Structure 1
Amino acid sequence: MKTWKKLLTVLSATALTSLVALAPATALAEDALPAQVQAIKDAGVLKVGVKEDVPGFGYFSPDTNEHEGFEIDLARKIAEEITGSADNIEFTGVTAKTRGPLLDNGEVDMIIATFTITEERKETYNFTDPYYTDEVGFLVKTDAGYSDLASLAGKNIGVSQTSTTQAKIEEEGAKDDLTFNFSEYATYPELKAALTANRIDAFAVDKSILAGYVDDQTSILEFGFAPQEYGVTTKLDNTELNDYLNDLLDKWEEDGTLADMKATHGLE
């Protein structure tokens, strides 16, 4: 009997030791991150390219010296998920022209900057599923009398450099043989200033962006076209990171996190 008790004691001790040894490995497996995500965690900071001139999405406030907007909140949420803190983040201001090159040269890990998903761009970059969908619109002087696309035929339309806006307007206008003149500007404040100074007849971009530039002399025309879907953008070979981000967006779409962030900034 003593022999059996001793044997059972030894076996129990062995089993317990095995379980203790296995526990860290199991925990490690559950917490394991894809290599491309782990690299960001190891660096201790998430580097994100964001807009600084789009109220509601990405804006750098001169009053607070802080970045604010829906896309800023989204970037911080991702940083918290990867690094453990929403403060472990480094923002770099981008424009439609500079966001691609900054991603290409590795200065940022990702772009969250009203970057419209297109089939052509998918050949160069990875895009997540859309986190926001908008449409192209026009900001005009309220007393100018414009009402639809036909009323802008032959007028000078201001657009952002390298954006998809001009091509979408030309495509829409071609349906009715409408043609337009275009002027490109580097930033949205420059476009608004050009409209104010009558150097352009209309400022064209996605409606939610235009909303941040409406004043008592301007208004956004009611009609819109060409749905614009925004995605978080990474390098083409960062497939693991892209898949990880898609999983996060899916989770936050389902639990209402994205809807809450949009509502906070009036983007329902």
Structure 2
Amino acid sequence: MKITKQLSFLVAFCLSLLFLSSSVAAAELPGQAQKIKDAGVLRVGVKQDVPNFGYLDPQDNQYHGMEIDIAKEIAQELGVKIEYTPVTSHTREPLMDNGQVDLIIATYTITPQRQESYAISTPYYYDQIGFLVNKKSDIQNPKALDGKTIGVSQGSTTKANLKAFAKKNGLSFNFVELGSFPELAISLYAQRIDAFSVDKSILSGYTSKQTQILDQGFNTQEYGIASKKSNGPLINYINSLIEKWNQDGTLKQIQETYNLKSKQPTKN
């Protein structure tokens, strides 16, 4: 009888410790993360037209890609479901502004200007801006694009970066801005533009037998997870997850799943 009481006390004590640790863990979540946990759903803005990053497959009507897997990891940490909202480079910020999404994980390049208006995580991926051209054009390097027309995505930082690149190298570009990457790829195939420019890893999803990515790229890009400026504590929590995933290899494993290689710049 005495042993039974002791066992009962031990079980009760262990359960109380488990409950206490869970309560402490929950208390450690920043306000917005706790709200997401209480709501039971994480609302994430993702790309639906970028193979390997965020792509809505018409065959199974499911999202796939590195950024989709990152969203799943965050949701798993919080113990909630995910609600995906498709975004474009043009709609990402308005969706954050009006509170329709909790996070944007959509090839969002970190810039000082964006950091002034939004809370953005540490980088989870690094890449370079590149050029996709038609093989028949015989364009082998960016200098051969002098005076030609380059297609870029509306709302992206690519156009500004290309202008700076052109000025630095004594070149001149004409621009066509379209709303989606598939539109830009189609315009290139139809020879309405001479090159389609965005980050190389994104371009890799639009190569074909008739196109190629130029070897020369420029201006290393850093992708971050973004939210409203007031959600800074939530992004600090995301930063702790990114740090953990970098240390335990989770982030590298996700990238390798989609044959992606983050090109983090070397420090001198």
Q: Structure 1 pair 139/20, CA: closer, same or farther in 2 (3 Å)?
A: closer
In structure 2, the residue matched to 1:263 is 256
2:171 corresponds to 1:178: yes
**TM, length-normalised to structure 2:** 0.89
Task: Choose which of 10, 26, 33 in structure 2 pairs with 1:37.
Answer: 33
Work out the percentage of aligned pairs sharing the same amino acid.
Answer: 51
**1:63 pairs with 2:64:** no
> Residue 23 of structure 2 is aligned with which of 25, 28, 42?
28
Deviation, structure 1 residue 172: 1.0
CA contact 1:53–1:59 (8 Å) conserved in 2: yes
The letter of the residue matching 2:254 is M
Aligned AA (2:186): A
Aligned residue number for residue 102 of structure 1 = 95
Describe the shift of the 1:134–1:264 C-alpha distance in structure 2 as closer, same or farther (beyond 3 A): same
Q: CA deviation at 1:29?
A: 2.1
One of 231, 234, 240 as aligned partner of 1:241 = 234
What is the distance in 1 between the residues matched to 2:131 and 2:164? 15
Q: TM-score, normalised by structure 1?
A: 0.89
* Alignment of 1:154 onto 2:147: yes
**2:84 equivalent in structure 1:** 91
CA RMSD of aligned residues (A): 1.6
Distance in 2, matches of 1:190 and 1:178, equals 25
**Runs ≥4 residues deviating over 2 A:** 19-27
**Judging changes above 3 Å, is the alpha-carbon distance between structure 1 residues 151 and 42 closer, same or farther for their aligned structure 2 residues?**
same
Aligned counterparts of 1:258 and 1:163: Cα–Cα separation in 2: 25
What CA distance in whole angstroms lies between the structure 2 residues aligned with 1:228 and 1:160?
15
Instruction: Pick one of 60, 71, 74 that aligns with 2:70.
Output: 74
Does the CA contact (< 8 Å) of 2:104 and 2:226 recur in 1? Answer: yes
CA distance in 1, matches of 2:170, 2:257: 41
Aligned to 1:169: 162
Aligned residue in 2 for 1:228: 221
Equivalent in 32, 49, 55 of residue 53 of structure 1: 49
Matched letter for residue 115 of structure 1: Y
Runs of 5+ in structure 1 lacking a partner? 1-15
Indicate how the Cα distance of structure 1 residues 22 and 266 shifts in structure 2: closer, same or farther if over 3 A, else same: closer
Q: Compare CA radii of gyration and give the structure with the larger one.
A: 1
CA contact 2:48–2:55 (8 Å) conserved in 1: yes
Determine the structure 2 residue equivalent to 1:6.
none
Distance in 2 between residues matched to 1:260 and 1:35, nearest whole Å: 30
Seen in structure 2, the aligned counterparts of structure 1 residues 78 and 173 have a Cα distance that, compared at 3 Å, is same
Aligned pairs (5 A) from 1:186-225: 186-225=179-218
Confirm or deny: 8 A CA contact 1:110 1:232 kept in the other structure.
yes
Do the aligned partners of residues 235 and 20 (structure 1) sit closer, same or farther apart at CA in structure 2, a change above 3 Å counting?
A: same
Deviation at 1:35, TM superposition (A): 1.4
Per-residue CA deviations over 1:179-201 (Å, capped at 9, x if unaligned) read 11000000000000111111100
Aligned-pair distance for 1:240?
Answer: 1.1
Residue 215 of structure 2 aligns to a residue in which SS?
A: coil
1:22–1:69 Cα change, 3 Å: closer
Cα offsets for 1:125-146 (capped at 9, x unmatched) = 1110000000100000012011
5+ residue gaps, structure 2: 1-9, 262-268
Count of aligned pairs: 248
TM-fit CA distance, 1:245: 0.2
Q: How big is the shift at 1:22?
A: 8.0
Letter in 1 for 2:54: G
Is the 8 Å Cα contact of residues 149 and 173 (structure 1) preserved in structure 2?
no
Following TM superposition, by how much is the alpha carbon of 1:26 offset from its aligned partner in structure 2, in angstroms? 5.5
1:137 corresponds, among 130, 145, 165, to 130
Cα distance in 2 for partners of 1:145, 1:112 equals: 36
